[in-house]
Chains A and B, each alone.
Chain A
Amino acid sequence: MSFSINRRRFIQSTSAIAAGAMACNVGRAVAQSSGELKVALNGGDYGNACIQVYVKPFEAETGIKVTPITDGVTPAALELMVSTNTVSVDVIPVDPDTDARVPETGYLEKIDYSLYKKDELDAILDFTRSPYSVGSIVYAYCMVYSTERFPADKPRPASWSEFWDVSKYPGVRTLCAEVPPLEEALLADGVPADAIYPMNIDRAFASLDKIKPHIRKWWRSGSEIEQLMQDKVVDLAQSFDGGANALIDNGAPLEINWNQAKLTWESWAIPKGSPNVRNAQRFIEFITRADRQAAFAQIMPYGPANRNAYKHLPEALQRKLASHPDHVASSIATNPKWYAEVGSDGLANAERIRQRWNEWILQ
């Protein structure tokens, strides 16, 4: 392994034991001064794309110095930062569930929608907009099948009831275990898309009972399902659209069935107590504009939450994205508000489902 052995940095870090407390205070003081911003952008290629199309143009336009962090922020980290008053980052990506709990937790600042132009704001898909966060990308849990196993001249599974129909569509199957596929189970059982919420949990689990013996692997992360499809272990999968698209672009014999896809999204938000709220508001407004979102989608094929972005995208790319109007029309959007609702027993629906799921997986 080769690395730059920088003597000065080594000494700095070793003497940090003595100077640690001081260094930290200095760091905070700097962060509080104006014209600064620290943003968490997710990791890997995603974060690098954000730096390229969001951070650099924003710095050029506003002169604000942005420190990008290529990492996500877990709900646990958010809670710790806010509750101990040690918020060290101004803009973070959040999932819809975290956003939906803010009325209860108070972890996020309110978004200043007065900064937004009307046509931009109207174009942002309504379900991705909340008082506390603005949608960035829309992605989907969708059905993906192998075109080798299901060639064009043979019947292909087109709905979750057909996914559940193992005799008519034989093949090795996989479903997601991290986010229980309850919506899919209800659709498979014949519940109409607009009647999924409020959810009949018993019915969903009864439907899951039917498919359980036929699932070869329950996956837990995007990289896992990507590998399962890449290695041709499964013929029929529930997968993120992003992973499937990346494999298809790489020549994998796969196709996405957009019918009855489950849409979810990621949003930008400001942790409560951020040192640079004003700049953070400006940053989020800037990066949710149609032209920025289009530039992002061209590097990372994820559906922009701002529909106006489609005006800047080539047709072939548009068809791959979860927020394409045709896909939105045939999909269902998850309902984080319903998941966050607290029942008479003091349990939120999300918790109730989690407990039921934990029991179900052990059966």
Chain B
Amino acid sequence: MKMFQALGRMPIVLTAPALAVLLVVFGIPIILLFLTSLSAPAFSLANYEAFFGQPAKIRVLLQTVEISVVATAICLFIGYPTAYLIVAASKYLRMALIVLVIVPYLSSGLVQTYAWTVIIGDRGMINNLLLDHGIISSPLPLIYNRMAVYIGMVHIMLPMIILPLVSVMMGIDKSLMAAARSMGARPFAAFWRVFFPLSMPGVRSGSLLVFVICLGFYITPAALGGLGDAMLSTIMASQVQTYFDTGRVAAEAFVLLAVAIIVLSMLGLDLSVTQGRTAQRAGKSWVSWLPSSGGQKRYRSELIAPLRAKRWTAQLYRAAGDGCWSNVVGAMLLMVVMFYLLFPGLLVVVMSFSAGKFLTFPPLGLSLQWYRSFFGNPSWYAAAWTSIQIGAMVAILSTMVGTLAAYGLSRTFPRLRRILTMVILTPICFPVIVVGIATYLGLVKLGLLGSMTGVILAHTIGAIGYVVVIVSGTLANFDRRLEQAAKSLRASPWKAFMRVTLPLIRPGIVGGAVFAFLHSFDELVITSLVAGFSVRTLPLKMWEDIRHHTDPTIAAVSVLLMVLPVFCLIVLHVVGWRSGPSSQRALSDHRT
């Protein structure tokens, strides 16, 4: 009991578990790597001079930032309305849409990339269609340029921005907008002055995740882009393959980290910034709209009537644009986005039934040979099972320490919060190969190299970042007064957290857990280093022979992976997400 009270006074302590894991597995080695990049013990800037002495490296660095910023902006531009429409949908449709958004994220990136060449390639569907109808005489250069890179990157990153947005938007009390509307605000004004500011934490955490992950992209730009569309990781990957020099690679990683910090601090790294402040701002803005405080009271009293609130909520979406027009536009937008997200996956499904020896579209014949090759080979399904186990452990571990850390961060001074957020994000900001090297060195010290535990820890350090970002987004909108109210009614801090805070931020926690699982399930580069040839995960199995030949079994595996989340997420939603908004509504009723 006392401990919890102490924690209440010193919330920063809650970040201790996350920081401890980071420090032991990753922090100490990264400091050692920093010393290596400075050529310790001689200490010189030779590695950094070597980097900045190459104009090409600087240009690629700038290009990396440029591509990441543009991709993030496109993601936000498409993702925000999509998330809005998803949240506005009925409960079951919403669940289905969320699952559909995540599905493409699970199929192998390599197969998805190939699917894009099937769509926009020189001999792809679009070009063939146009050629067959005589509209063009030679294929349009739709692929192998910057545009294709954006198409591919946004396709992969869109779920990453939609999910945090959805989890924040679900926490926004819809009756606030109804209130604004009922008080004469126009639909757009109600959205812009009430809903949008409240959704900012989601915008911030989603864009942050997307931007940071985009920085490390290399397969998609290499496969869909032209020769010049290289990103820093593309160049680093070929460097690591041919001429490996730890000091040089580490120096480049620290330069990239520095750039990431600069860009992030410009975008606003403080994920919890809206807490309190926006509420005030939003409050002020609509207070000023009111004719009188008497009127405010009158309308507020009406909010208590749940039936009326519900009708307004329903009205709100119909009236968000202009009645039935907005419905049509919204539905069409959703359909277009879903088509964009799912169509490549659909091609993968078709290709997985191919009878040929190569990935082809359209398939030459139908067969189940690649499914047989998966289920007939223990090394495939054993790898899948290993990955699921590791993913589950990573999700549990990182969700626990990540949620605590996010909670602690939301209660501390902004400056400290910014610094610690950056520290926690380092493992996702860094080029993955450098994270791999650092983790390897860390696990050697712990004697956990090549063990399941080692791989779990290696994945956890990255997964914590996802959890912290997404949970922080949800926490930013959380009204602390609710917790204080609970405490004033003699709830212990623990009870207040469990009964008030936790249910309200559950969408964020579930979202964080999903991404923690996916991060682990997808991880290749770090695993290949720290698995010590004893732990075989599914990505390792999928990528083991990619150097020479694409085994179409990965198309079958991708399809199985796309089916898996439909089961998993339905379970998760039934357990977790469902109670989010309803309890929020119940509480908001109490508040008034």
The chain A residues found within 8 Å of chain B, CB to CB, are 1-6, 9-10, 13-14, 16-17, 20-21, 23-25, 27, 38, 40, 42-47, 69-72, 74-77, 79-80, 84, 86, 88-89, 97, 101, 172, 177-179, 212, 215-218, 220-224, 226-227, 230-233, 240, 242-243, 246-247, 250, 348, 350-351, 354-355, 358-359, 361-363
Check A86 against B449 for contact (C-beta < 8 Å): yes
On whether A76 and B437 interact (CB within 8 A), knowing A1-B561, A10-B389, A24-B449, the answer reads yes
C-alpha gap A349/B451 in the complex (Å): 39
Most interface-central of A216, A223, A230, A350 (chain B CB within 10 A): A223
Residues of B within 8 Å of A89, CB to CB, are 533
From the candidates B228, B440, B543, B550, name the one contacting A84 in the complex (CB within 8 A). Answer: B440
Taking the closest CB of chain B, its distance from the CB of A136, in whole angstroms, is 14
How far, in Å, is B305 (CB) from chain A's closest CB? 48
Cβ of B450 under 8 Å from chain A: yes
Stretch at the interface among B153-161, B325-333, B354-362, B569-577: B354-362
**Additional A-B contact list (13), CB under 8 Å, known A74-B528, A75-B244:** A1-B564, A16-B453, A24-B447, A45-B545, A47-B545, A77-B529, A217-B144, A227-B114, A240-B548, A350-B243, A351-B243, A358-B56, A362-B56
From the candidates A16, A71, A231, name the one contacting B540 in the complex (CB within 8 A).
A71
A44 near B451 with CB under 8 A, answer: no
Which residues of chain A are within 8 angstroms of B358 by Cβ–Cβ distance? 226-227, 230, 247, 250
Point out the residue from A17, A88, A230 that lies within 8 Å of B532, measured CB to CB: A88
Contact A350 B242 (CB under 8 A): yes
For the complex, give the distance between the alpha carbons of A89 and B528 in Å: 14
Whether the Cβ atoms of B238 and A84 lie closer than 8 Å is no
Q: A46 contacts which chain B residues (CB < 8 A)?
A: 545, 548
Q: Is the CB of B246 within 8 A of A79?
A: yes
Complex contact A221–B449 (CB within 8 A): no
B288 at interface by CB-CB < 8 Å: no
| Neighbour of B529 across the interface among A2, A80, A217, CB < 8 A | A80
* A80 contact set on B, CB distance < 8 A: 437, 440-441, 529
A23-B451 Cα distance, complex, nearest whole Å = 8
A172 to B550, CA, bound (A): 23
With a CB–CB cut-off of 8 A, which chain A residues contact B450? 24, 27, 88
Instruction: Give bound CA distance, A42 to B548, whole Å.
Output: 10
- Bound-complex Cα distance A83 to B216 (A): 26
Digitize B332-364: 1 where CB-to-A-CB distance is under 8 Å, 0 elsewhere: 000000000000000000000000111110000
Residue in A13, A47, A84, A230 whose CB lies within 8 Å of B441: A84
List 5 A-B pairs, minimum CB-CB distance, nearest first: A43-B544, A44-B545, A20-B453, A43-B545, A359-B56
11 contacts between A and B (CB under 8 A): A27-B451, A43-B543, A44-B544, A71-B540, A76-B433, A79-B246, A89-B533, A220-B222, A223-B546, A231-B117, A247-B358
Q: Which of B388, B528, B533, B563 has the most CB of A within 10 A?
A: B533
Kindly state whether residue B190 has any CB partner on chain A within 8 Å. Answer: no
Q: Which chain A residues border B545 with CB–CB below 8 Å?
A: 42-47
Give every chain B residue within 8 A of A212 (Cβ-Cβ). 227
B549 touches A44 (CB 8 A): yes
Distance in angstroms between the alpha carbons of A256 and B412 in the assembled complex: 66
In angstroms, Cα B385 to Cα A351, docked, is 41
Q: Report yes or no: B454 in contact with A86, Cβ–Cβ below 8 A.
A: no
What's the minimum C-beta distance from B52 to chain A, rounded to whole angstroms? 13
B258 within 8 A of A: no
Q: Which residues of A contact B241 (CB under 8 A)?
A: 74-75, 178
Distance between Cα atoms of A350 and B547 in the complex (Å): 21
Contacts of B448 in A (CB 8 A): 20-21, 24
In the bound complex, residues from chain A placing their C-beta under 8 Å from that of B57 are 358
Contacts of A20 in B (CB 8 A): 447-448, 451-454
Q: Which residues of A contact B529 (CB under 8 A)?
A: 76-77, 80
B357 — nearest CB in chain A belongs to which residue? Answer: A250
Cβ of A362: which chain B residues have Cβ within 8 Å of it? 56, 59-60, 63, 228, 230
Task: Give Cα distance in the complex from A226 to B110, angstroms.
Answer: 14
A86 touches B532 (CB 8 A): yes
Residues of B within 8 A of A247 (CB): 358
Question: For residues 445 through 501 of chain B, which have their beta carbon under 8 Å from a beta carbon of chain A?
Answer: 446-454, 456
**A233 and B121: CB pair below 8 A?**
yes
In the bound assembly, the distance between CA atoms of A243 and B54 in angstroms comes to: 35
Give the residue name and chain of the A residue nearest to B531 (CB). A71
Asked whether B514 is an interface residue with its Cβ less than 8 Å from the other chain, the reply is no
Interface bits B219-259 vs A (CB < 8 Å: 1, else 0): 00011001110100001001111111010000000000000
Q: How far is the CA of A213 from the CA of B360 in the complex (A)?
A: 28
Q: Is B222 touching A4 in the complex (CB atoms < 8 A)?
A: no
- Asked if A71 and B357 sit within 8 Å, CB to CB, the answer is no
Q: How far is it, in angstroms, between the C-alpha of A57 and the C-alpha of B441 when the chains are bound?
A: 37
Closest B residue, CB atoms, query A85: B444
Q: In the bound complex, do residue A361 and residue B230 qualify as a contact, i.e. CB atoms below 8 Å apart?
A: yes
Contacting pair B384 A1 (CB below 8 A): yes
Q: Which residues of B contact A354 (CB under 8 A)?
A: 238-239, 242-243
**Residues of A contacting B173 with CB < 8 Å?**
none
> In the complex, which residues of chain B have a beta carbon less than 8 angstroms from the beta carbon of A246?
357, 549
Please determine whether B446 and A21 come into contact, CB atoms closer than 8 angstroms.
Answer: yes
B381 close to chain A: CB less than 8 A: yes
Residues of B within 8 A of A223 (CB): 110, 546-550
Contact B544 A2 (CB under 8 A): no
- Taking a contact as CB atoms under 8 Å apart, the answer to whether B533 and A40 are in contact is yes
Instruction: Answer whether residue B55 sits at the interface, using C-beta atoms and an 8 A cutoff.
Output: yes
Residues of A within 8 A of B240 (CB): 74-76
Chain A nearest CB, measured from B454 CB (Å): 7
Q: How far is the CA of A358 from the CA of B223 in the complex (A)?
A: 17
B379 within 8 A of A: yes
- Do A178 and B238 contact each other (CB < 8 Å), given the known contacts A226-B550, A355-B56? yes
A198 to B226, CA, bound (A): 30
Nearest residue, chain B, Cβ from A249: B357
List of B residues within 8 angstroms of A10 by Cβ: 389
Interface hits, B199-227 → A, CB 8 Å: 222-223, 226-227
User: How far is A209 from B549 in the complex, measured between Cα atoms in Å?
Assistant: 30
| A274–chain B nearest beta-carbon distance, Å | 13
Residues of A contacting B433 in the complex (Cβ-Cβ under 8 angstroms):
76
Q: Which residues of B contact A233 (CB under 8 A)?
A: 121-123
Which of A27, A172, A350 is within 8 Å of B534, CB to CB? Answer: A27
Nearest CB on A from B553, distance (A):
9
- Is B243 a contact partner of A243 (Cβ separation < 8 A)? no
Complex CA gap A216/B121 in Å reads: 11
CB neighbours of A86 from chain B (8 A)? 444, 449, 532
Cβ contacts under 8 Å, B168 to chain A: none
Q: Report A337 CB to chain B, min CB distance, Å.
A: 14
Minimum CB distance partner of B380 in chain A:
A3
- Tell me the smallest distance from the CB of A41 to a CB of chain B, in Å: 10
Is B389 in contact with A13, judged by CB distance below 8 angstroms? yes
Interface centre among B60, B117, B441, B452 (most CB of A within 10 A): B452
Q: Which residues of chain B have C-beta atoms less than 8 A from A179's C-beta?
A: 242
- Roughly how many angstroms separate A89 CA and B449 CA in the complex, as a whole number? 13
Inter-subunit contact B534/A13 (CB<8 Å): no
Residue of A nearest to B242 (CB): A97
CB distance from B388 to the nearest CB of A (A): 7
Instruction: Please report the C-alpha to C-alpha distance between residue A215 and residue B436 in the assembled complex, in whole angstroms.
Output: 35
B279 at the binding interface (Cβ < 8 Å)? no
Asked if A1 and B246 make an inter-chain contact with CB atoms under 8 angstroms apart, the answer reads no
B244-A79 in contact (CB<8A): yes
B528 touches A77 (CB 8 A): yes
User: From residue B262, how far is it (CB to closest CB) to chain A in Å?
Assistant: 22
- B110 surroundings in chain A (CB, below 8 A): 223
Residues of A within 8 A of B446 (CB): 21
Query: Could you tell me the distance in whole angstroms from the C-beta of B517 to the nearest C-beta in chain A?
Result: 14
| Closest A residue, CB atoms, query B389 | A13
* B393 interface residue per 8 A CB criterion: yes
- Measured in the bound complex, the distance between the Cα atoms of B440 and A14 in whole Å is 21
Complex CA gap A69/B536 in Å reads: 9
Contact across chains for A76 and B244 when beta carbons are under 8 A apart:
yes
Q: How near does chain B come to A297, taking the closest CB pair, in angstroms?
A: 15
Q: Which residues of B contact A23 (CB under 8 A)?
A: 451
Residue of A46, A243, A362 most packed against chain B (CB within 10 A): A362
